[in-house]
Structure 1
């Protein structure tokens, strides 16, 4: 069988994709980014119960951004009744959105569910979006947020030595880049990563990238748009930083 023939979607997933296909278009170009940012998905996120039925105390906090850049917003969710005494592990969450849309509410329901089960603090970071803010602005922002989280972990009930990086899509790629930065700069050392469908490779030329052309909610065209917004003409070139595309590491 040709590697370009896509595998079928699971029937349950296919049904969901059919429902949301008009909300999350599978193909979009740079011209579609403003409309996507104004779509109904972001409004729905505002209705998310961040307390998880009272399980968490929720705080929005502005903290210093990279040198010469604006402050960044952190969403901090602390268990109301910790499952154990002492500092808790921290899930440092980086939101998805293809590098071009989203805020620190996007996808945070997943780490909140894990944190409620395991007893952890969740810190979800907001970052500047491409194409207005290309690389390295997004990764610089999430790095600044990680530094603040590690330095102030005890204040928010967390353990600076037990930070797990989490993220999906763009957030997964940025979380992987954070791990590389922490290794190379000698910064806070995470104890693990939870990367969900991470954006790792700007070359957009894997077998699955070709298989998914025109399929799902994030196809090959959308992927090219996200990477081009982040990297511009450098996308796919020889000099792309692993802190932008961790598959280059």
Structure 2
């Protein structure tokens, strides 16, 4: 999985990069949070809080963030990307707790990084899409940051493998059905599969 370099992210000095590390959940290591701000963006900008893909088992905070940075450049927004712990060494609940901790920090420090805590959007790709949905549910259930919205890109949401689409691409491309099953197995070992976490009646969360 491609991870962008500082040169890639700063885009010929048109984007400012701040490498922040924050305290992790109790007993966990610090969480790296690269903060990306287009030069010249207005204060009180929207904030995209991004979770990378990689099937819960590979990747880092710089993987895939270029797509979200495109949105930030086009809309004068700030991007914060979270480097969560990976399975199998750290299965559920470690990744989602890291992501939620980073979200709370981003909300509390939005003004400090040039953002508006009332215009905070969670987003993620693949595994990160599933984590973004989970973070939104945690924010709701814990009375945490009130989100403007969520953008889930090909989200990894269902560990049951009962649909035909979850099985039809075995042996195809770089991430197939077997890869998906491996990712879910390593993520949920000792934890709670995401498909067993249900939203409260009357509240819908979608991309």
Partner of 2:205: none
Partner of 2:58: 101
Partner SS, residue 62 of structure 2: coil
Distance verdict in 2 for CA 1:90–1:47, change over 3 Å: closer
Distance verdict in 2 for CA 1:246–1:87, change over 3 Å: farther
CA contact (8 A) 1:177 1:245 kept: no
Deviates more, 1:126-135 or 1:225-234: 225-234
Q: Distance in 1 between matches of 2:161 and 2:63?
A: 24
Partner of 2:40: 81
- Residue of structure 1 aligned with 2:10, choices 43, 51, 57: 51
Partner of 1:211: 168
What is the deviation of 1:207? 1.3
Q: Distance in 2 between matches of 1:47 and 1:60?
A: 10
Task: Output one character per residue of 1:157-197: Cα deviation in whole Å (capped at 9) or x when no partner.
Answer: 01111111111011000000011111111100111111111
CA RMSD of the aligned region, Å?
A: 1.8
Counting only pairs closer than 5 Å after superposition, residues 31-180 of structure 1 correspond to structure 2 as 41-42=1-2, 45-46=4-5, 49-82=8-41, 85-180=42-137
Q: Distance in 1 between matches of 2:6 and 2:148?
A: 32
Task: Output one character per residue of 1:80-133: Cα deviation in whole Å (capped at 9) or x when no partner.
Answer: 111xx4310000000111100011000000010000001100000000000000
Higher helix share: 1
Q: Normalised by the size of structure 2, how large is the TM-score?
A: 0.90
Which consecutive residues of structure 2, in runs of 5 or more, have no partner in the other structure?
200-207
CA contact (8 A) 1:199 1:245 kept: no
Counting only pairs closer than 5 Å after superposition, residues 10-29 of structure 1 correspond to structure 2 as none
Deviates more, 1:101-110 or 1:202-211: 202-211
Partner SS, residue 91 of structure 2: coil
Aligned residues: 199
Which of the two has higher C-alpha Rg?
Answer: 1
